[in-house]
Chain A
Amino acid sequence: MNYTYYPGCSLSASAMEYDASTRALMASLGASLTDMDDWNCCGATAASAKSALLSLALGARNLALAEKMAPGSDILVPCSACYLNLKKAAMERRNDPEVARKLDDILAQESLTITKPPEVRHLLDILVNDVTAPTIKAKTTRPLKGLKIAPYYGCQCLRPYPVFDDPEDPVSMEGLLEACGATVFKWDMGASCCGASNMSTKPDSARKLVQKILMQARGADAIVTVCPMCQLNLEGFQRQVSHDAGSDLSISILYLPQVIGLALGLTESDVKLDKNLAVTRKFKEKLLAVSC
């Protein structure tokens, strides 16, 4: 398993633990990741709010770089916004010759070309379909027995392109969590929206969405995420959201590769658990209990 790795901006800063745990987990699974040279920001949701063409051009530049570096290697993307932006550039380029011509002209300014861009794949897709749950199960040395984990997928790894899961009722994480020995917390909020950048621009509206999610997660030991934006919104505002709700909604929020990594015997420091903003004492105690 060889992949071209696109970390994206968040994973170099506020989501550094997503980066570290993805790298550590993939290494322990025997996969080889090669960082994309000179990658640029995908534009998140900001680029399309400035210019649709700019958003596609940012994605296309990364596709060209990946193709130049390793034409046969899929691009592994852990961040859902990055994943969608790269994927969208590939899809719109393929479906619309006019868009393709414009993107080719833009890339030509830097002597870059796209002929057959490598596949853009989300980390979750790769864990489910390339690594697979039986492999995770076979490699699990510290089954997370007794931990109830709520799988949270968010939006952009599911929609608008349904690639590896049902875009409204996703289930792909469940097999992975069960393979780790954890109990899947059944809920209806897995594909709902966390409010994304509204948390900065329309905080009152975004907090309501986070509140709905955290309310429904009551009874779970943790929520597991596959996107730095979801992670930050769910972990970073628990005090205010609890205040809004009039009840304590604090809960541990972890990235998926952190949870799987821990089950595979990686240490808390390997997956940088100390960098998360919301890990409760109760969760740490339960984790300690499964280690013994």
Chain B
Amino acid sequence: MDEMVELKKALGTCIQCGTCTGSCPNADEMDLVPRKLWRMVLMDRTDSILDSRTFTLCSSCYMCTLRCPRGLPLTDAMAALKAVALKRDIKKHRQSTRFYASFMESVRRHGRVREGEFMGLYFLSMKNPLLPLRFVSLGLKLMGKNKVAIELPAKAGHGNLTVLFKAVAEIEEEEA
């Protein structure tokens, strides 16, 4: 089933009460508040939804999910929209989607995320020479404490999860 159809089904009983918006720590940064976003899901306004930065601002605090009087999986819905944006490789959301994708690529290769490699993959995928500068201050602090090291991306090796990733992808393809 199409992801947007699935999402619409999951959110069908939304009553537009706005508890999600009132509970969201990032709502004031969003161009569409969560309540409006859910309404647009129900109205099939896919283009406007994927054009909005709202779902990329979700920090997974689960306050909306906890408080939703309809018990809707709202945090999961935000994550599902991030996944749609990744799949469609929407340019304006790459700073978020490629961050998560790079993280998962490191996990696939080694079973565990290698922080240095993950950031390296992210910078390579973004092809923006200025982006790494934003992380220099924290990176130097962590390297100064011998907590992380610069790592060159390595091929999938011991402990890799290629089998699991493939099994998940196969099930998803069957459903699509």
In the bound complex, how far is the Cα of B2 from the Cα of A287, in angstroms? Answer: 58
- Measured between beta carbons, the chain A residues less than 8 angstroms from B168 are 51, 53-54, 57, 106
A196 in contact with B59 (CB, 8 Å): yes
B164 in contact with A61 (CB, 8 Å): yes
Interface residue from B62, B65, B86, B172 paired with A49 (Cβ < 8 Å): B86
B104 in contact with A160 (CB, 8 Å): no
A53 in contact with B172 (CB, 8 Å): yes
With CB as the reference atom, state the residue of chain A lying closest to B6.
A52
- A46 interface contact, C-beta 8 A: yes
Task: State the Cβ distance, A126 to closest chain B Cβ, in Å.
Answer: 21
B83 in contact with A51 (CB, 8 Å): yes
- Measured between beta carbons, the chain A residues less than 8 angstroms from B112 are 9, 12, 39-41
B141 in contact with A202 (CB, 8 Å): no
Interface residue from A13, A16, A160 paired with B66 (Cβ < 8 Å): A160
Task: State the Cβ distance, A156 to closest chain B Cβ, in Å.
Answer: 7
Q: Mark B37-59, 1 if CB is under 8 A from A, else 0.
A: 00000000000000000001101
- Measured between beta carbons, the chain B residues less than 8 angstroms from A162 are 66
Task: State the Cβ distance, A42 to closest chain B Cβ, in Å.
Answer: 9
Q: Mark B100-139, 1 if CB is under 8 A from A, else 0.
A: 1101100100011111000000000000000000110110
- Measured between beta carbons, the chain A residues less than 8 angstroms from B165 are 54
- Measured between beta carbons, the chain A residues less than 8 angstroms from B145 are 274-275, 277
In the bound complex, how far is the Cα of B168 from the Cα of A105, in angstroms? Answer: 9
Q: Mark B67-95, 1 if CB is under 8 A from A, else 0.
A: 00000000110011011001000000001
Most buried by B among A48, A55, A162: A48
In the bound complex, how far is the Cα of B139 from the Cα of A237, in angstroms? Answer: 11
- Measured between beta carbons, the chain A residues less than 8 angstroms from B104 are 43, 46-47, 50, 54
- A68 interface contact, C-beta 8 A: no
Task: Please judge, given known A-B contacts A40-B161, A48-B83, A50-B101, whether A102 and B171 are in contact too, CB under 8 Å.
Answer: yes
In the bound complex, how far is the Cα of B140 from the Cα of A236, in angstroms? Answer: 11
Task: Please judge, given known A-B contacts A49-B100, A51-B83, A236-B141, whether A105 and B171 are in contact too, CB under 8 Å.
Answer: yes
Task: Please judge, given known A-B contacts A49-B79, A167-B66, whether A14 and B115 are in contact too, CB under 8 Å.
Answer: yes
Q: Mark A112-143, 1 if CB is under 8 A from B, else 0.
A: 00000000000000000000000000000000
Task: State the Cβ distance, B117 to closest chain A Cβ, in Å.
Answer: 11
A13 in contact with B147 (CB, 8 Å): yes
A192 in contact with B134 (CB, 8 Å): no
With CB as the reference atom, state the residue of chain A lying closest to B86.
A50
In the bound complex, how far is the Cα of B167 from the Cα of A50, in angstroms? Answer: 15
A49 in contact with B115 (CB, 8 Å): no
- A159 interface contact, C-beta 8 A: yes
Q: Mark A188-228, 1 if CB is under 8 A from B, else 0.
A: 00001111111011111110110000000000000000000
- Measured between beta carbons, the chain B residues less than 8 angstroms from A160 are 62, 65-66, 75
- Measured between beta carbons, the chain A residues less than 8 angstroms from B141 are 236, 277
Task: State the Cβ distance, A246 to closest chain B Cβ, in Å.
Answer: 19
Task: State the Cβ distance, B161 to closest chain A Cβ, in Å.
Answer: 6
In the bound complex, how far is the Cα of B111 from the Cα of A238, in angstroms? Answer: 32
- A247 interface contact, C-beta 8 A: no
Given contacts A53-B171, A159-B61, A200-B135, 16 further A-B contacts (CB under 8 A): A14-B148, A41-B112, A44-B103, A44-B113, A45-B100, A49-B82, A102-B171, A105-B171, A155-B60, A156-B61, A160-B66, A192-B25, A193-B25, A196-B61, A205-B57, A209-B26
19 cross-chain CB contacts under 8 A = A39-B112, A46-B99, A46-B100, A46-B101, A54-B104, A105-B171, A106-B171, A155-B59, A156-B60, A160-B62, A167-B66, A192-B25, A195-B25, A196-B59, A200-B135, A201-B56, A209-B26, A232-B138, A275-B145
Which 10 A-B pairs rank lowest in CB-CB distance, beginning with the nearest?
Answer: A159-B62, A193-B61, A46-B103, A49-B82, A48-B79, A49-B100, A46-B100, A155-B61, A106-B167, A196-B59
